[in-house]
Structure 1
Amino acid sequence: MIEMAGWVTAAALLVAVLAAILFRKPLLATFGLQLISLKRRRMTQQEARAVISRLRSEAKAMKEDRNRVEALLALRELEVSDVMVHRTNMRSVNADNAPEAIVREVLQSPHTRLPLWKGSLDNIVGILHAKDLLRALNEVDNDFSQIDILKIAAKPWFVPDTTSLEDQLNAFLRRRAHIAIVVDEYGEVEGLLTLEDIIEEIVGEIADEHDIDVQGVKQEADGSVVVEGTVSIRDLNRALGWVLPDDEATTIAGLVIHETQSIPEEKQAFTFHGKRFLVMKRDKNRIARIRIKPAPVEIQQQEAQKPQ
């Protein structure tokens, strides 16, 4: 009798287990649960490409963020003289010119703000804003003779060339200013710096419809580049994607003089930093024009093997 009861119990349990297996989905649904399949589905080729594309985008974004952080940290190491537009490349206006000529210069310039000088470039007397000039013209019905340029111009702001970019950025923000004149320890004008120049050090080149190519740089059909000696190394690197060093010199002529430890004669050629430099024109003790082209591959390989 006991054996019969045991078999009945075992049979009942077996039926219960089979019912649970057969009706597991309805039973789980009763308690608000869902059976999840552990079988792994193969990823389609299209899905794989989408995943790879997303990973690449994320990696690119991470690299850009890292570069910006590094650029922010570099602001403490750089000085305004490293980034400024050199005085030889500055667009400026002679305040002694006729108002009509000044208006024409301002309208032809790609810049909104232009330094005003009297007598010489070392005597900056104001910063002329195109919007202020046009507003003043409108008030006198475009009668140039009634305009006083110096009254329209804003007071210039002079900053030492040794100011760090970080301090200068903060100063720009505090004063809500956009342009400063850079001077050396003797008060002589070295160049100008804008808020946009510093921002571009962080985020890269900011292009707009009024931007123009770097002045003094001409691309030749043979792949070489003819550069005026006063062009800054930083501008050249930005324009052409080069990595010429700018820690020992500011202009391309200064780089040649530093590397050769001399003032080369015309038609002299030198090779360094993976480039071939040919002095095309010399004006007294100044290198006026240089032709630059990639150095032969074997020379570039030799440079790459040199200990740093």
Structure 2
Amino acid sequence: MTAERGGLSRFVNAMVRGLLRTFKVDLSQETLSLSSYDDLQAALAIVHHDAHLDKTDRDRLGGVLDLGELEVSDIMIHRMAMRAVNADEPPEVAVRAVLDSPYTRMPLWRGATDNIIGVVHAKDLLLALAEPDADVSRLDLVKIAQKPWFVPDTTNLKDQLAAFLRRKMHFAVVVDEYGEVQGIVTLEDIIEEIVGDISDEHDLEIQGVRQEADGSIVVDGAVPIRDLNRALDWSLPDEEATTIAGLVIHESKSIPEERQAFTFHGKRFIVMKREKNRITKLRIRPADETSGRDQATGPA
């Protein structure tokens, strides 16, 4: 085992054991002595099926189990949903975009949104603005920005976590085999895969998801399937598609029109909004609420 893999194993082992203690699982001497990630993963799989764990605990343990099976592309923020700053905009506009963002780091592009030339950290920007002779109209974000780090979209999360820790970095730009930007991934995204969101178990705290009074769920097309499965205890497949819109396109083998509806995997998917070739909003309800219209396709 390399030093890198050994460091990751120790990190994940410590995290898992902490979770197990939180879940009041007895740690035997054998479990405490596990040094292999694979051995610990096998032991964890047994605990994961323990009947006394609630859904939140199962999700957290499942996040650790999935680390080696998931790729960066499974959890990244897709380029269509990525918030970025244009280096050619007036400095006042670019600075306001960074300061108004809920994120501490934003990619900086020039010429085209997939030409990422840097990453602007809000802290670095505030330090520059705090200089005695600072003039926001003459601020050069390119000089303030950090060098971007590009990672392949096929990198598995275990290796990406190790790379984040080794480089002491939190942010990476995801590219495909041709070098085209696909999105961004952060250290926080991977940690969230392990521990999940910290929120009330009855809350539906997913950006782009809204529960309606009639019991249906209105979802933005870019919402990841895994997030929906975790929050709603669903089991929609995510092998062939990452987002809920991608799943509908894959299953229907088409780019549906607005108001078209499809039934698969026990759910009724109704296309509410489409922009060009993208499904941007869907309504989802149980298939048994469709009054027997359990067809592959059909009217909404």
TM over 0.5, shorter chain: yes
Choose which of 98, 102, 112 in structure 2 pairs with 1:106.
98
Which string of whole-angstrom CA distances, capped at 9 and with x for unpartnered residues, describes residues 79-113 of structure 1? Answer: 10011111111111111112211221112111111
In 1, distance between residues paired with 2:144 and 2:226?
33
Which string of whole-angstrom CA distances, capped at 9 and with x for unpartnered residues, describes residues 208-265 of structure 1? Answer: xxxx964433333323232232222233334545432211101111101112222222
Which residue in 1 is equivalent to 2:147?
155
In 1, distance between residues paired with 2:53 and 2:216?
34
1:141–1:68 CA distance, 2 compared to 1 (3 A): same
TM-score by length of 1: 0.70
In 2, distance between residues paired with 1:284 and 1:193?
26
Partner SS for 2:242: coil
Aligned-residue CA RMSD (Å): 3.0
1:66–1:256 CA distance, 2 compared to 1 (3 A): closer
Which residue in 2 is equivalent to 1:178?
170
Which residue in 2 is equivalent to 1:167?
159
Cα offset for 1:150? 0.6
1:71–1:239 CA distance, 2 compared to 1 (3 A): closer
1:63–1:221 CA distance, 2 compared to 1 (3 A): closer
Q: Which runs of 5+ in 1 are unaligned?
A: 1-55, 303-308
In 2, distance between residues paired with 1:62 and 1:273?
24
Choose which of 210, 235, 243 in structure 2 pairs with 1:218.
210
Choose which of 103, 123, 126 in structure 1 pairs with 2:118.
126
Partner SS for 2:102: coil
TM-score by length of 2: 0.72
1:72–1:119 CA distance, 2 compared to 1 (3 A): same
1:240–1:91 CA distance, 2 compared to 1 (3 A): farther
Which residue in 1 is equivalent to 2:88?
96
More moved, 100-109 vs 198-207: 198-207
The residue correspondences of 1:202-241 to structure 2 (distance < 5 A) are 202-206=194-198, 214-241=206-233
Which string of whole-angstrom CA distances, capped at 9 and with x for unpartnered residues, describes residues 112-167 of structure 1? Answer: 11111111111001110001100000014552023211111100000000111111
Structure 2 contact 59–230 (Cα < 8 Å) conserved: no
Q: How many residues align?
A: 243
Structure 1 contact 229–251 (Cα < 8 Å) conserved: yes
In 2, distance between residues paired with 1:117 and 1:143?
22
The residue correspondences of 1:1-308 to structure 2 (distance < 5 A) are 68=60, 70-140=62-132, 142-206=134-198, 214-296=206-288
Give the letter for the 1:98 counterpart.
P
Which string of whole-angstrom CA distances, capped at 9 and with x for unpartnered residues, describes residues 268-297 of structure 1? Answer: 111222321111233343323211122326
1:96–1:236 CA distance, 2 compared to 1 (3 A): farther
Higher helix share: 1
Structure 2 contact 268–290 (Cα < 8 Å) conserved: no
Give the letter for the 1:175 counterpart.
R
Q: Which runs of 5+ in 2 are unaligned?
A: 1-22, 26-49, 295-300
Partner SS for 1:104: helix
1:271–1:193 CA distance, 2 compared to 1 (3 A): same
